[in-house]
Amino acid sequence: MRKTFVFIAGVAAGVYLSRHIEANPETKRALNETGVKIKTFANAVTEGYKEQEAKASKTVKPKISK
């Protein structure tokens, strides 16, 4: 019963927020700017991960002394 209530409350909140965002151009603009910032951050994290992965994948050849 409680899970159903929480689910319905979440759906209602989502509908309310989506209507509010669509009705207010300033809110829509702020949300779009936030999305751009999140994508920029995610891309920077991805690039950093790839750089670290490339560094880690380089193998060091052991020197064999004769």
Q: Match 């560094």 to its residue by tokens.
A: 55
Of 3-12, 19-28, 33-42, the poorest mean pLDDT is in: 19-28
Question: Mean per-residue pLDDT for 27-46?
Answer: 95
User: Model-level pTM?
Assistant: 0.58
Greater model confidence, 66 or 10: 10
For residue 48, CA distances in Å to 27, 39, 44, 56, 59 come to 32, 14, 6, 12, 19
Token pair recorded at residue 63: 């020197």
CB–CB of 22/28 below 8 Å?
yes
Token pair recorded at residue 53: 């992965």
Place 48 in a pLDDT band, splitting at 50, 70 and 90: very high
Greater model confidence, 20 or 4: 4
Q: Where are the domains of the chain?
A: 2-57
pLDDT, position 64? 72
